[in-house]
Amino acid sequence: MLLIIIQARIGSKRLPGKVLMRFLNKPVLQILIEKLKKIRVKKLIVVATSRRKEDDQIIKACKNLKINYFRGDLKNVAKRFYQIVLKYNKCEYFGRLSADSPLIDLRIINKIIKLRNKNYHIVTNVFPRTYPKGQSFELIKAKFFLEKFRYLKTNQDKEHVTKKLYKINNVKILNIKSKLNFSNYSLALDTLDDYMFYKFLFKNYKDESFILNFKQLIDIKKHYERKN
């Protein structure tokens, strides 16, 4: 079984509450989860959030969606992941993504998942990044993460979870690349400008927005930016 962990919190500095903003009468978190449910492997989805009072809203949303959740230290995100991986110890791999990425292209995720049985500790598309922000997915071997967790000591390591793992000696990494470099583009929901684009997208493309690939979404965003 594949464990998929979604990082989510209310207290974003640039766009507070973004993970529960509504489009098509659904919170962003629900849009992402509905998309992930379409992945054709046996999977367990867990939302990882903090114990802060404001994140009670995320727990309420998870309960409504009947999705597993875990609450842990706000600043030590890595420890949250460690505890989740320990809890669901029958999962050989776990996937990591952010709740502000509801436009993620499932083709990317499926491609990475198909490579999970290869002899790699990490299968990713961010080392180096050639896909847009908001299209990132990392698949990590659970045993490797549990063994190397002790190296995640600095505040940056605790916040960014996997950044240090890429630098560990003898780590085996497989990185998938886009034919063209789209790393300067963003399809994440991270700013007020992103929010306005999302409004435009979901208003004009409605359910079609769920099946568009990332290149089509970039073209739509370029068109939107030319008009605005």
Residue 100 is predicted with a pLDDT of 97
Total domain count for the chain?
1
Could you tell me the pTM of the whole model? Answer: 0.96
**CATH code (residue 147):** 3.90.550.10
Domain extent for 24: 2-227
- B/e letters for 38-58, b = 16+ CB within 10 Å, e = fewer, are ebeeeebbbbbbbeeeebebb
Residue 5 is predicted with a pLDDT of 98
The arithmetic mean of pLDDT across residues 31-59, rounded, is 96
pLDDT in tens, 131-159: 999 999 999 999 999 999 999 999 999 99
